[in-house]
Amino acid sequence: MSMQSHLSELEKKHQALEEQINDCLAHPATDDLKVVELKRRKLQVKDEIERLRHNGHASVH
C-alpha cells in the first residue's frame, strides 16, 4: 500500500470516527465512556496521519 493510499484510508477512518462522535452526542442516553473512547481513537488516527505526513515530507528533502 502506498503512503498516499494509507493516508487516504486514515483520513476516511478519522471522518467516520467524527461522525460516530457526533451521532453519540446527538443522543443524550449515550455512555460518556463511549464518547471518550471514540475521541481517543480519533486523536490516535490524527496523530498517525500527521506522523506520516511529516515523515513523507522529511524523506523528500
For 16-50, what is each residue's pLDDT tens digit?
999 999 999 998 888 999 999 999 999 999 999 99
Give the mean pLDDT of 4-20: 96
Q: Cβ distance 17 to 45 under 8 Å?
A: yes
Q: Cβ distance 14 to 39 under 8 Å?
A: no
- pLDDT > 70? residue 54: yes
pTM of the full predicted structure? 0.84
Domain positions in the chain:
8-60
- pLDDT > 70? residue 1: no
